[in-house]
Amino acid sequence: MRWRRGVAIAASVLLAACAARETTSELPVLAGRIVWATAMHPEDCTPSRCQATFQLEIHNPTDTDAAVVSCDLVRADGPIDRIPVTDGVPIVVRSGGTQLIRASSLMDLSPRSLRRLHGERIRCADVLDDRP
């Protein structure tokens, strides 16, 4: 019972900190690209929707470590799609470093369109930024 109370308190503190941070400042954006993208189970795809797996390369040019939970696919020919990087636990991208991350997401794209995402740009927000 005590561990549940501790988890609940920790979750409340984290949520409050994140909510306050989002309203007080704009989060820095890290650049990156899609190294590769493919359908996880092509036989289960529809012509316009597919469960995809990606390898993402995220660059952190800042002087502090960054924490990323999702990235946005930046496409000139259509809407921006969100790619979840984790199930909630942030991935750390070290200061001045580059991180390769494998992610998956249900996308409104065909298997052929997924393969065309190779090299496309992504933007990832540092969700735990503590810079003024």
CATH of residue 80's domain is 2.60.40
The model's pTM is 0.70
Range of the domain at 119: 27-125
* Tokens at 56, concatenated: 């993402």
**Total number of domains constituting the chain:** 1
51, 45 Cβ separation under 8 angstroms = yes
Is 70 within a domain?
A: yes
Is 15 within a domain?
A: no
Is 85 within a domain?
A: yes
Q: How far apart are CA 69 and CA 94, in angstroms?
A: 14
Is 20 within a domain?
A: no
Is 17 within a domain?
A: no
Q: Tell me: the pLDDT tens digits for 10-61? A: 343 344 344 434 433 466 789 999 999 999 998 999 988 999 999 999 999 9
Is 34 within a domain?
A: yes
Q: How far apart are CA 57 and CA 34, in angstroms?
A: 6
